[in-house]
Structures are given as C-alpha cells and as structure tokens.
Amino acid sequence: MSDRPAASLRLDSPLRLISSLRLDSPARAAGAVLLLAAVAGPLWLTDFWLQAGLFAMAAAVGAIGLTLLVGVAGQLSLGHAFFLGVGAYTYTLLAGEREDGMSGFGLPPVAALLAAAAVAGAAGAAFSPIAGRLRGIYLGLASLGLVFLGRHVWLNAEDVTGGYNGRTVEAFAVPGFSFSDEDPDYLAVLGTPFGELHRLWYLFLAVALLAAYCGRGIKAGRAGRAMAGVRDGETAAASVGIRVARVKATAFTVSSVYAGVAGALTALAFGRVAPDSFALTVSIDYLVMIVLGGAGSIAGASAGAVFVSVLPLMLVQYSAHLPFLSAPGSGGVDAATLSRFVYGVAIVAVLIFLRGGLAGALRHLGIRTARAGRPSRPARPAERSTPKESAP
Amino acid sequence: MRTGSGSAWEAVPAPGAPLLDVDGLDVGYNGAVRALRGVSLQVARRGVVAVLGGNGAGKTTLLRAISGTLGSAGGAVTGGTIRLDGRDVRGLPAAEIVRAGIAQVPEGRRVFRDLTVEENLRAGGLTAAPRTRSAALQGIYELFPDLAERRRERAGLLSGGQQQMLAIGRGLMSRPRLLLLDEPSLGLAPQLVARIGEIVTEINRHGTAVLLIEQNAVMGLRVADSAYVLEVGRVAASGPAEVLAGSDEIRGRYLGAGAGTASSADPGPDDGREPDTGPPGPAAAVRAEALKVDGVTVRFGGVTALADVSFEIEPGTVHALIGPNGAGKSTCINVLGGAYRVAAGTVRYGDRTLTGLRADQIAGLGVARTFQNISLSLDATVADNLLTGRHRLMRSGVLGGALGLPRARREDREHRARAERVAELLGLTALLGRSVHTLSYGDRKRVELGRALCAEPTLLLLDEPVAGMNPAESAEMAATIAEVRRELGISILLVEHDMPFVMGLAERVTVLDFGRRIADGTPAEVQRDPEVLRAYLGSEAA
Amino acid sequence: MSYLLTQLVNGVSLGLVLGLIAVGFVVVFKSTGVLNFAHGSVLLLGAYLVARLHPELGFWGALAAGVAGAALVAALINTLLVRRVAEHDPGVLAILTIGVDILLLTELTRQIGNDVLDIGAPWGASVVGAAGVSLPASRAIAAGTAVVLFAALGALAARTDWGLAMRAAAADPDTASLMGIRLSRTSAVGWGLAGALAAVAGVFLTSYPTPGVEPGVSVVAFAAIPAWVLGGFDSVPGAVAGGLVIGVAQALAIGYESELHFLGGGFGEVVPYAVMVLVLLLRPHGLFGQKEAIRV
Amino acid sequence: MTIRPLAAAALCLAALTACSTTDPDAGPGDGDGSGIRTGNGVTDSEIRIGVLTDLSGPFKAGAAVQVQEKKAYWAARSAQGGICDRKITMDVRDHGYNPQRAVSLYRSMAPDVVALQQVLGSPAVAAVLPLAEKDDLYVGGMGWASVALEYQVAQIPGTTYSIESANAVDYLVDTLKVPAGSTIGHVYFEGDFGGDSLAGAEHAAAARGLKIHPIKITPQDSDMSAQAAALERAGVKGVILGASPSQLSSLASVLASNGVDVPLIGNTPTFSPALLNTPAREGLLKNFYTVTSVAPYNGEGAAVKTAAEMFEKNAPDGTKGWEVPLAYGQSELLAEALEKACENGDLTPKGVVAAMHETSGLDTQGLFSGTLDYTKPGEPPTRKVFVSRADPEAPGGLKVLDTIEGPSALSYKFE
C-alpha cells in the first residue's frame, strides 16, 4: 500500500477489487463476494435492476476509457459522447438488416461490435491531429464542437441513423446463441428464465471486466507511463524520448475505442440508437463519473459510472417510499428534481471537500492556458519562476 | 491576538527598534520541503540591507514570506514572526501588507506589459490616498525621466533597464516605508547595474528603507549598510556590508577561488565517500561522441538570448556551462535538448545534426537531461518515474500492456530490474515504492537524475543539479556524477551556479554572459579570466 | 436585398446579445481562470427575477433587482465555491461550475414550473423598421444597450482605478497583489460583472419575439461559448466580434436554409460550433487570441 | 492461484446442469373462478394500468394535466363498479424525457400492469414501443406520429399528424381559398412529430398544386425571427406549424408585426391557451387555426363536457387545454378495450391488445372526430379532424369551427 494522504478518495467498487488480485486477503475475499454477487445477479435481480445494471456496466466501460484520456493522459475532452455515438451507430449499421429504407449490412454482431470499436478508434485517431495542436480548455471546447457536429450528422443521415427517433438495434448473438429472447427461445438457469436482459448481463459483465483489466494494464504499462509523463510535463516527457504528439493520439484512440464499445453496449441495452443518447449532457455525465470517482483511477471511474447511471433511476423507482418527496407535477421536490440536486451536490462536495483525492488526480490535466503567468505548483522555493529576460 | 491589556501598549516600538524584524522564520512548500529554517533578520529605519546567496538558497522565499505571497506558490510560514514597526504582519494577505507599508518589486520586473507606463505606475499607487498620487507620480518621473518621456507607451515595449526602473517606480507609488527589491540587477548590463545601485541609494535618501536581494554581491554590498548571506534556507553569515565585502568568503563563493575557505566547498566528512573529482579512471570505455555547438543563436521575439555561441564537449568528459543569471545557460541546454529552436547555427552530436530534431528524437540519439525546476510525475512512484526514463528502450505498445501479453510482462520485469540498478547507484532503492510527492527536494533531484540515467544516455545534460542543496548533499551529488561518468563512460554537460562544485568536477568550462561566450577553457584558466571576473563581480572587481 | 439586410440586422442584434454573454465568459476567465458552465443558469436567474418581480416593482425596478441578483449570485459562486477549491486547475473548476449549474438550473426549473413567464418589458412586441428592414424593437434596444454597455465597460476599464485594478489582476495576479490589489475583490467583481451582463442578455433573450422565461433559455449561453472561443478567450473586443460572427452566421444559415439544404436540415443550430471548430483548426488561439507562451 | 479457475469451472458446470431450454409455462395462462383468463397486472379485485410520462422534463405541464384527469377518470370508473368487477389503479412513473430512463422504468412496470395507458414523449415512445410489441402489452396515448401504426399493440388516440397536416392543406385551399400554385410554409420540429407533419403536408400540397417551403427547427429555437423572414421572402400564402407553443408564440407575433397576414395552422401540440396572454395574442386571434383529432377543451360533444366538468372539480386551478379531453378520451378507449377483453374472457395483456383491435364504429361523443375503427392494422382509426380557431372567450382558448375530412387526407397512403 502506498502512503498517499488519507484525503484521497477511495471508492471501492467490485471492479477495483476484482481486478486487484494482488490485494491482501480480506479485500480479495470481498472482491470474490462481489464478483459472485455480480455473476449471480440475473438469478435474484428484477428486470428493472438488470436493465439499470446494463446501463451502468456500459457506462463503466466508457468511463474507464475517458479516465485514461483525461485522468491519465491529462487531455480534457468534452467530446466523449461523440465517440460513444460513433460506436453505437456503427454497430447498428453493420449488424442491422437492410429494411424500411434503412441501410444495413447484416454482419455477424460480433464482427459489428469489433468494428464499432475500430471505427470509433479511427475517429479518435482522426481527431488526434487537432488534439495535438490544442491544449487544455481549447481542446475541451473543440471536442465540444464535435458533439454538436456529430448530432447534426446523425439527425440528417436518416437512412443510416433513422434520424431523430433513431433505429432499433440488432440483438447481439454468437453462432448458436442469441443474447435476446430468442434462440434458444426458452432458457432457464436454476429455475430462473433467462431472457434478453439476463443473457446480456453476462456479456456486459465480461466486457466490463475485460475493459477494467485492459485499462489497468494500459495504465500500469509503458504506454500509461508515457501518458502520465505527457500529463505531468510535455518537455520532460519528450526529453526521455516520448513522442508527445503520438502519445496524445494514442490516448485519444484508446479512449475512443472504449467509447465505441460503450456506445455499442449502450445501444444494445437500450435496444435503440437515437441522437439524444449522445448529447452534450452525456459527455458531461461521463466527466462527472470520472471526477466523482477520482480521475485516473479505473476503479473510481467504474464506481462513478454506477453512481451516475443508477442514482436517478433509483430515486424515481423508489420515490413513493421516500416520505419527503412530493408527487411529480405538484410543484414540490419530486424524485427527478431530487436526483438532480443530489447529483449537483455530489459534484460540488467532492471537489470542495475531497481535495486531495479527486482534485489531486485531476491537477495535472495540463490545462495551462493563456494565464501562463500563474505559477503552477513549484516543487521548490521558486527562486526563478519567472522567465529570464536579457537586456536588449 | 490580544493576550492581555498590556499588549497594545507593547506594540508601540521603541525608538531604536528595527523597522522590519524577522525572527526565527520557517517556511515550507507543499507541506514537504523546508525552504527557510530559523531565519532572523532586521532592517533598520532608513536602512539598506542586502541578502545574498546562490540559487535555491531561499532568498525569494524570504521576500515572499515578508510580502505575503507565499500562498500562490504553494508555500506557507510554519514558524517564526515577521514584525513591521512592532506590528505582526505574518499571515496577512499580500494586499494588506502593502497597505501596512511594504512594497515588493518582484524578480524579473513583472511589469504589466499590455498596460501603459503611466497605468503601471497608477496600479502601483492604488492603495495610496488619491490626493497624494499625483505628487508621487511626479516624484517618480523626476527620478526616472525616461519613464516620463514614454508614459503613454505600452510597458512591454520598454527596454529591460527601463522596465526595471518602471518596476521600481511602481513599487514606490504606494509610498512604502520598506521597499523589497528582488534581484534588480538581473540580466542588466554593467553600467545599468551601477545605475540601479545609485537609484537604490537615492530612494533610501528619501527615507525609504530597502531590503535588497542580490546575486551580484558587489553591487549588493556596495549599496547596503549591512548584509546577510543565505545558504540552503539558513543565514550563513551576516554583518556590516564593508566587512562582508572584504571577506574572502564572498569572493570564494562566487568564483570558486580559495575553495578551502568556502564552507560550501567542504565535502562533508560524514558521507563516507571521497568525492572523486579527478580525471576519468579506466573503469568504462567511453561510449559518448563529441558534441559540437557551432554559432548557435536563439531569439525570443526581439530579444537575443544566445548569440553565436560555440563550444565542444570531448567524448567522456565533464563540461561545465557557467555564467550569471540571465546569461543564456538554460536556453543553451534547452537548445541541446530540442526544447528550443535555433535562429542560426548547428549542434552536432557525433555525425548527427541535433538542430531541427524534436526533443524525443534527440533523446533517441542518447542525449538525456534533467531540469532546473524538477519535472517529475509527482503522483507516480519513484520506480514508475525511473521506468518512464526507459521508455525509448522498451518496445511494448498499448495492446501488449492492455492484454498483459507475456512479452510485455517480461519486458516490464527486465526493465524494472535495470531501473532498480540505477536506483541502487543513486541510493534510491529504499524509496522505489514511494510516490514522488512524499520525497524531499534532494531526493527528487536524484530521482530526476535517475530517470535521465535510465534512458542510458551517452550524453547527459544536467541543469543545476545541486541548486538548493546543502554542502553535504552537494558533495554527495558531485561524487555521484563523477562515479556515473567513470562507470558509464558518458559525457556530461553541467549548468551550475555553485562554483566550487563546478570547478572541482569539470574538465572544461564555457562561460556565457548576455548570451555570448566570454570564456572557454580549463577551470583554472577561466578563474583567472578578467572578463569572467567582471561578469560575476561587476566592472570594479576586475 | 432587403431580405439579406433583414437577416444581417437580425444577426447583428443577436450577435451583440451573444457578445454580452461571451464578455461574461471572458471576464470570469480573465479574473479567475475559470470556464464557467454555470453562466447559462445565472442568465436564467436574472431573467427569472425580472419576470417574477416586475408586477410589483415595475419593469425598471425588476430589471435592477434582476441584474443585482444575478451579479450577487455569480459573485457568491466565486467566493463561496470556486475560491474554496484548493486545486486551481481549470478542468476541476469547470466541472465544479457544472455542478453549480445543475443545482441552480434544477431549482429555477422547479420555481418556474409549468409557466412561461412574461418578462414585462415596456417595448412589448413593437417593431421598428427602415429601408424595408423591420426589426423587433426589443432587438434594436438590445443592440443599442449592448453597444452602450461595451463602451461603458471600455471606459471604466481604461479610466477608473477599479478598471485598472481589474486589468492588472487579470494580467498578472501575483504581481497585482504586490500592488495591494485584493484578488478576492477583483475576482468577485469579475464574476458579478459577468452575472450582471448575463442578466441583461437574459432579459433581451426572453423579450419578444421569444415567448418569455423558460428553463430552456439557459441553453442559449452555450451558443455564446463559440463566440468566446472565436474571440480568443481573453479579449473583450474579441468576444464582441466573435458574437457578431456567430450571430450573423447563424441568422444567414437559418435565413438561407433552403439554399443550404445540402448541409442538412437545421444547420443553423450547428453553425456556431462548425465555425468554432473551423477557426480553431486554422487559428488555434482564436481570431483575437494571443499565442500562449510556452516556457520550459 | 489454481483454486480460482477450478472454482470457476465448477460454477460453470453447475450453472450448465441447471440450465433448461424447455418452457414449463408454455401452456395457456391462469384462469380464475369466473372463467376469465388473467395475467400481469390483474388480480381478482384490481386491474393495474401504467402511465409512463414526463413530469419533470419539457412536457411536464401538459403531462401533469393528463395525469390528473386520468386519475379522476379511473377513480370515478372504479367507484361505479369498475371494469370486470375490478377496481382500476394507475401506476405513474416519470421518465423526465430521458428515453434510457423510460426503458428502465418500462422494465420495472411491464410485469405489473395489464396495459400502458400512456407513454409520452417521442424518444421514449420510440424506445418503448418495440419492447411493448415484444411483450404484447397495450400502449396508448403515444402521440400521433404515424410510426405508431406499425405496432400492433399501439392504440393511436385519433388520427396522425400527417393526416392533420393534409387536412390543413385541404382547409387552406378549400375554405381559406389559397390559390393553386402558391407556396405555403411548413415549420417543423426535427423528429417524427415534425417529420410526419411534413410528410402529410407535402402529399397534400402535391395533390392540390401547392409548393411547400419547409423549415426545420429544434425545440430549443424559440426566436422565429429568421424563420419568419425566410417565410416572408418565400411569399408564403399560409404556414403550417408542427412545433410547440413557444414557437407558435414567436412565429405568430413576428409574422403579425411584419404585416405578414396569412393563415397559420398548427398541429395538435402547437397550441396552449396561455399564449393568449402573450404579445402573440393579436396575431393568433387574427390568423391562427389548429387541426386536431381530439376535441379542444371547449368542444361540443357530451363527453367533452363531462371531461371538463370532471377536470374542474378535481383541479379547479388547472390549465384548461386539449389535454383534458385527450386524457379522458384515452381513458375511454382503454376502458372500451378492457371491457371487451373482459367480455372475451381474456384479461391478459395479449387479450387487451386483441380486444382493442376489435373496436370499430366507436362514437366517442365528441371526444375524437368521427367514429373510430381500430380493426385495420397500419391505418389510423379516422381521417377526420377538428378545425378550431383561437378564441379568447372560449375556455381553453379554442373554438371549434368545423370537422373536415379533406380529399388529400383521404388519399394519403401509409407505408
């Protein structure tokens, strides 16, 4: 264990524990219990919770990708929703059938899912020259433009995307087994009928675990160290032979691959793709996920994803049991309003009170903008923090 | 805080009491680094006090503590008191300290470049009563006729000397009782330095006390009544200016002459190792190639930072680059490392031309460097920082790391082992698992050196490797560098201020001043060079 | 021709209002280095206060209250929240303002409820016209007000102590504090000023020809972000010019949508962002921005 | 470390042996003593229906009115003995116009209700309808976009936006005397509300020799100045608006201010009585018409009066709009289907859908225009619409002028 200040945020999540196989035994036991609970989830969860779990796991995959980009590599992106959308639409187009005036390629869903990752990754790589030229807030805002431009394309390319209302998504399947209510039409495990949600649960769980495993590997490996080096000082990184532009491009590409998979999973969980699922608020939600969890932390991103996707559902679902809530439409604080309040307060509170943890992880975002005169954490008496000038 | 009925009465100072009384001041940065330890210092009413010391000695920290601007640099006063006229001003915000009567002229002038000269001056006088301002402005214009002439021009267009005048004038606009001057002679030509000295005397004559920080010891001692010498956060010497000016110690400190008498040159008997500063032993074959710097010129905007600089580093030697602040040493090392572009000239390493290559390509040719302000991943462990240095020697990509492929794991193991050997060489083994932000300053410096060594360079560029270290640490670092050179057979370029350190270590020295090369030769030759003496001590010293 | 002129005039008046919002982004960014995502909800707050208070205070009284309220809340966001965040990292601060925006917007949405509130402006739905071009009076007044405010802002910044302190603090906060300038005060003033300008913009954005105050108005502030970026982040005149570029481009894209059909329907909505991305590609620091100095 | 894979393998094996692919429940459903088959959401004493609506998003105003009216309707109905001797209870969930949340809430509701009386908001509808189709679960009150006709389970409350717009064109030509060869403007929301509205107008314009000048907008556009100028430049002789009250308010007032004196016809969701208190009032009173398949608040029919009385009793301060008769009418439609399902002895979700499709020749006493026929899949139950004008005197702000079924509305083909 490192002796980081206690202020740093530690949100233990199943994924963190599961993926940290080298933790000491109580943690391993807890991880095993959580993993078992997750594996057994479809046996004891209702459809509502299965559905919420699917959205949360899809979000976790996307959040891990974003935390690699923003938290590890220090590149602020407000464009994550765009790459999610690219993945979702790619999967839908490739796996979908040609019908109702919609284009479709009818490819095997596995191939379509891999292609969704690849196409989103390619989109990220294509954006990376821009990312290489811009830094900090400039980069964030350029990527914000991406979200609006993407939305425009999705609204207008109606024969591919279905326009505003989107199109239905082909169920996921491997040869001989479909992750839907068909093929086999009836499947029961330990007496519980396994329908679409139950089957998808295992697909999502596997993908999310793989995403966390790979995320950890990337972060801890040569590529992750290079990203962190770029985040903590581009000049110093270059001085040990790290190609800064290439590392940024890699980070964007990796993050977009994650986003592509997450987008496809979201589409599968949702059963539809529509432009609203990839709006600016989605980008912001993803940023909030990684900030709440602690930027740069794989486990934190997963925990943040679960919190952000499940909280509003939970409050709406159980609003009737919360005595202080008023009925929707009556003008008091209803469940939806409360969940917005909780969400906002969570963001503000984490940033103000959990300084060391979250802000600490974000502090190297690398946003050193036009205010170059502002000293940035000199590690030492800043004898010469100001630029030296020579007499003309 | 009122401790009793008598305290208010006691706050009225005795007539002979000092204007500024700093007592036992401790300052830390980011909770970890201690920058000042028990510093005590007095400035008399109408006195001029100089604080001398090398880079990293804590001079600017002292001023920041007095002027209340430590916070924005991440520092905090952890002990001691600062009294102005008996009133405790420690911990007051900067704006209140100005109102209490202390004005600081920051290092590097820091004029508001986009504001006009007059607006700069008005900004300085915002705390003064409106009716006194025009008189103050008039006074400044009389003191600096140049400024009066250019009052409508943007401050960014002034020359360096005029900007320094403006910065001083701006500081005086609030009619302070005490003026803090941070290296006013930095980067100015000798005649301007002399002029600044006159101005300080003139200001003092009008009744303002001055606390002056200087690296230019001669200038500092000439204008001051008394002086303090800071060294690694402590007061190493103090006394009347004339006494200090006559001491060999000051001369030794700045030119490395008579190293035996200079405290900082004592290698600290407790470290158990004899610093080997002799010629390279037969330990390792020389792997380095010759570095040829030829006619390099660098410009920033209209300012020429390096003008036609040439020198050569013989393979396998330690070469030092010295010169006063602002001479262009760091610019030079940044050119070699690929961070800055040249306007003219070439740098060749062996048969490769470095100018025009990106920094990472230069690193790929076996050139590694450290930074003047340490640049490490603070949240990462020492081991990870060292491994970052091995980036160019490793091959595994994103996919290998993501999937944990056996080859990537094996590579990781192998390189971790290599990094551990470097850690052993630098005495960092015990710290490998610690994250960098928990380390002391000296350890961080060593980690940065380790990261550079992990890249297995044949040419190592060290930008002030011992700035801010105490003599023992400094000597240890010298020993390490010598050992590195001997064991690895590489060339080393040192940029340093610590003269004894450089003189004991380098085989050859290049001296820069105002971006030009003014001397080049063995340490002994350079020490005798009259140009060098003039550059360091001012024209009178030669 | 008069059609083109109509669209241009429309675009200019909208652009000036966007400029008011964009200047708010600039002032906040210059005084505290924050990308303020809560700007839109502060704007809505100002408009909401005016709409709620005008029956009792009269329009002008309500306007004063709305401007003051928005300024106060903006300044409080800075003092109570932004300055409490230890890590002055722009990314962290931007996300903090997202949180604030969510809270403020949720509460305002709850307060506004199901209504569309009338702003109660005395100019109502009247229209002014000349040379075959007609323009809602509110837009003409908006344009005039914006120009006057920009001029007043310029004069204040150039001539008063207060303006000098703001400019000095924006240029170099550390040095400014050495001049005795209280950064807590200049930053609060910066945020307050931004809030006040946003409230004014909010009043015009909810006047005829738009129906009134509804939660969706806060989204308009997003359209000012491209204007701000175009202007180069730290330039007040740049933000105004950026607003004009965006306003005119958007008005033309909507006005000539049938001619621009190959770009897809509803292109007017994305024009600001398309222009922004284009400009960032060609001039990474905006039309008026200064290249950031990268020092080692 | 070898324990882990072993355990995993054992678990898998255990899971596999626990698998079964034959459905033990594949036979017919449960019956109760009275011989009526029941399924989800129906007990001996209770029929549970769902409402999945938007009480915190952009449509919360109208949605709240509808929820109030429906609650009142079912309370009254239950008090009168209910349906099939069962009380009806309503489960209301708020998706806040977030389709993903709508899907999750659908998942939680679907096992517990026999029918979804309403799914509000077109993205939510688009997401939920395919799921409901798979579950054979009745969905009502999903708006009037033609896309609903593709689903067996959907009961559209009246005709479609496309038929409304086609009728609007017919009305412009036949009654308001817009000459052939003229251009009419069509300002519409992106999405299937606006798109469907445009499709009907384009068909009718082609049939009647008019040209359409389409302008696409988003719900965020509330300033219609530029659009109005574009319409003026195109020299339109009439405008059809497939948007919401914000856009109507702005467009009507700008057109009036600019002296563009042409009729402005809106689809059902376009009007709100509150607009008559805004600067748009003059323009609306002069030129605004609306084509709706549900009667306005002030409609003539007996059932509309009942609906209004019920609403005023339960919500004296509520907004009086077309949502009131709509909510009442939807409840009537569902009640009709439930009654029929009860008669058929099959009160399962599937039975309700089947019963709904047996409804034909239904006269709703003025709630909906014409008689309703749900027996033809892929066709709307009627092609008749009400034409109303803004009227400051009428409660709800609209006064019915006419009921029409124009030639191009009749010739419109659904694909």
Determine whether the interchain pair B126/C177 forms a contact, defined as Cβ–Cβ distance below 8 Å: no
Determine whether the interchain pair B339/C174 forms a contact, defined as Cβ–Cβ distance below 8 Å: no
Confidence of residue D28 (pLDDT cuts 50, 70, 90): very low
What does the pLDDT look like over B134-152, one tens digit per residue? 888 999 999 898 899 888 9
Q: Is the pLDDT reported for residue B167 higher than 90?
A: yes
The predicted pLDDT at position A260 comes to 97
Q: Is D14 helix (H, G, I), strand (E, B) or coil?
A: helix
What is the overall mean pLDDT for chain B? 82
| Residue C284 vs residue A151, higher pLDDT | A151
Determine whether the interchain pair D126/A334 forms a contact, defined as Cβ–Cβ distance below 8 Å: no
Answer yes or no: same fold for D37-159+301-380 and D161-292+388-411. Answer: yes
Q: Is the pLDDT reported for residue D53 higher than 70?
A: yes
Residues of A in contact with C293 (CB under 8 A): 372, 387
Q: Report the C-alpha gap between B130 and B99 in whole angstroms.
A: 14
Confidence of residue B237 (pLDDT cuts 50, 70, 90): confident
Which of B119, B122, B174 is closest, CB to CB, to C180?
A: B174
What does the pLDDT look like over B53-100, one tens digit per residue? 776 678 888 998 999 888 777 788 888 999 998 889 988 888 889 999
Span B259-282, average pLDDT: 40
Q: Report the C-alpha gap between B389 and D62 in whole angstroms.
A: 64
Residues of D in contact with A274 (CB under 8 A): 99, 123, 126-127
Which of C41-55, C102-116, D8-22 has the weakest average pLDDT?
A: D8-22
| Residue A239 vs residue D55, higher pLDDT | A239
D166-194 residues labelled b (16+ CB within 10 A) or e (exposed):
bbbbbbbbeeeebeeebbbbbbbbbbbbb
CATH 3.40.50.300 fits D37-159+301-380, yes or no: no
Q: Are strands B48-52 and B209-214 parallel, antiparallel or unpaired?
A: parallel
Judge whether B296 and B306 are in contact, CB under 8 Å.
yes
Pairs across A and C, CB distance < 8 A:
166
Which of A22-26, C140-144, D295-299 has the weakest average pLDDT?
A: A22-26
Distance from CA of B472 to the nearest CA of C (A): 29
CATH 3.40.50.2300 fits D161-292+388-411, yes or no: yes
Mutant choice from C87, C88, C89, C179 vs B, greatest count of B C-beta within 10 A:
C179
What does the pLDDT look like over D168-227, one tens digit per residue? 999 999 999 999 999 999 999 988 899 899 999 999 999 999 999 999 888 878 888 888
The predicted pLDDT at position B72 comes to 72
Interface D:B, ≥3 CB–CB pairs < 8 Å:
no
Q: Is B514 helix (H, G, I), strand (E, B) or coil?
A: coil
Residues of A in contact with B358 (CB under 8 A): 238, 243
Span D223-242, average pLDDT: 90
Determine whether the interchain pair B112/C175 forms a contact, defined as Cβ–Cβ distance below 8 Å: yes
| Residue D116 tokens, joined | 């979804």
| D261 close to C (CB below 8 A) | no
Q: Which chains touch D (3 or more CB pairs under 8 A)?
A: A, C
What does the pLDDT look like over B271-294, one tens digit per residue? 434 444 444 444 567 778 899 999
What does the pLDDT look like over D311-354, one tens digit per residue? 999 888 888 889 999 999 999 999 999 999 999 999 999 999 99
Residues of C in contact with D228 (CB under 8 A): 209
Q: Is the pLDDT reported for residue A361 higher than 60?
A: no
| D96 close to C (CB below 8 A) | no
Residues of C in contact with A370 (CB under 8 A): 233-234, 285, 289-290, 292
Span B175-187, average pLDDT: 87
Confidence of residue B477 (pLDDT cuts 50, 70, 90): confident
Q: Which among B394-408, B437-451, D70-84 has the top mean pLDDT? A: D70-84
Residues of D in contact with C209 (CB under 8 A): 223-225, 228, 250, 253-254, 257
| D107 close to A (CB below 8 A) | yes
Distance from CA of A223 to the nearest CA of C (A): 23
Determine whether the interchain pair D94/A335 forms a contact, defined as Cβ–Cβ distance below 8 Å: yes
What is the overall mean pLDDT for chain D? 88
What does the pLDDT look like over D98-132, one tens digit per residue? 888 899 999 989 999 999 999 998 888 988 998 99
Which of A279-283, A315-319, D22-26 has the weakest average pLDDT?
A: D22-26
Q: What are the structural domains of chain B?
A: 19-101+177-246 (3.40.50.300), 108-175 (no CATH), 287-366+457-542 (3.40.50.300), 379-450 (no CATH)
Residues of C in contact with A345 (CB under 8 A): 99, 103
Residues of C in contact with A81 (CB under 8 A): none
Which of A232-236, B14-18, B454-458, C274-278 has the weakest average pLDDT?
A: B14-18
Closest residue of chain C to A370, computed from CA coordinates:
C292
The predicted pLDDT at position B536 comes to 66
The predicted pLDDT at position B57 comes to 78
Determine whether C267 is exposed, middle or buried from the number of CB atoms within 10 Å of its CB (0-12, 13-18, 19+): buried
| A270 close to D (CB below 8 A) | yes
In this structure, what are the phi and psi dihedrals at residue A104, rounded to the nearest 5 degrees? -170, 150
Expressed in percent and rounded to 5, the helix, strand and coil fractions of chain D are 45, 20, 35
Judge whether D152 and D353 are in contact, CB under 8 Å.
yes
| A207 close to D (CB below 8 A) | no
Which of A221, A222, A236 is closest, CB to CB, to B371?
A: A236
Q: Is the pLDDT reported for residue B268 higher than 60?
A: no
What does the pLDDT look like over A214-266, one tens digit per residue? 999 999 999 999 999 998 888 899 999 999 989 999 999 999 999 999 999 99
| B188 close to A (CB below 8 A) | yes
Q: For chain D, give the percent of residues with pLDDT over 70.
A: 92
Cα B355 off chain centre by: 27
Q: Is the pLDDT reported for residue B507 higher than 80?
A: yes
Name all contacts of D170-175 with Cβ < 8 Å and 24+ positions apart.
D170/D204, D170/D208, D170/D404, D170/D406, D170/D407, D170/D408, D170/D409, D171/D265, D171/D289, D171/D291, D171/D387, D171/D402, D171/D404, D171/D406, D172/D210, D172/D237, D172/D238, D172/D263, D172/D265, D173/D208, D173/D210, D174/D406, D175/D387, D175/D402
Distance from CA of C42 to the nearest CA of D (A): 18
| C210 close to D (CB below 8 A) | yes
DSSP E strands in B255-388: the ranges are 291-300, 303-313, 318-322, 344-349, 352-353, 367-369
Domain boundaries, given as residue ranges, for chain D: 37-159+301-380, 161-292+388-411
Span B118-127, average pLDDT: 91
The predicted pLDDT at position B462 comes to 93
Q: Is the pLDDT reported for residue A114 higher than 60?
A: yes
**CB-CB neighbours of A31 under 10 Å:** 21
The predicted pLDDT at position A208 comes to 95
Determine whether A170 is exposed, middle or buried from the number of CB atoms within 10 Å of its CB (0-12, 13-18, 19+): buried
The letter for the amino acid at C138 is S
| Residue B348 tokens, joined | 């060749």
Of the candidates A68, A53, A65, A377, the one whose C-alpha atom is nearest the C-alpha of residue A227 is A68
Tell me the three-class secondary structure of chain C, residue by residue: CHHHHHHHHHHHHHHHHHHHHHHHHHHHHHHHCCCCCCHHHHHHHHHHHHHHHHHHHHHHHHHHHHHHHHHHHHHHHHHHHHHHCCCCCHHHHHHHHHHHHHHHHHHHHHHHCCCCECCCCCCCCCEEEECCEEEEHHHHHHHHHHHHHHHHHHHHHHHCHHHHHHHHHHHCHHHHHHCCCCHHHHHHHHHHHHHHHHHHHHHHHCCCCCCCECHHHHHHHHHHHHHHHHCCCCCHHHHHHHHHHHHHHHHHHHHCCCCCHHHCCCHHHHHHHHHHHHHHHHCCCCCCCCCCCCCC
Determine whether the interchain pair C179/B330 forms a contact, defined as Cβ–Cβ distance below 8 Å: no
| C291 close to A (CB below 8 A) | no
Distance from CA of C19 to the nearest CA of D (A): 17
| Cis status of the peptide bond prior to C209, with omega within 30 of 0 | yes
Cα angle vertex D304, ends D301, D308, to 5°?
145
| D92 close to A (CB below 8 A) | yes
Residues of A in contact with C292 (CB under 8 A): 135, 368-370, 372
Domain boundaries, given as residue ranges, for chain A: 14-279
Span D377-389, average pLDDT: 93
In this structure, what are the phi and psi dihedrals at residue B307, rounded to the nearest 5 degrees? -125, 110
Q: Residue written as tokens 């036949």?
A: D174
Which of B396-400, C189-193, D13-17 has the weakest average pLDDT?
A: D13-17
The predicted pLDDT at position D209 comes to 94
Q: Report the C-alpha gap between A68 and A224 in whole angstroms.
A: 8
The predicted pLDDT at position B269 comes to 39
Q: For chain B, give the percent of residues with pLDDT over 70.
A: 86
Q: Is the pLDDT reported for residue B194 higher than 50?
A: yes
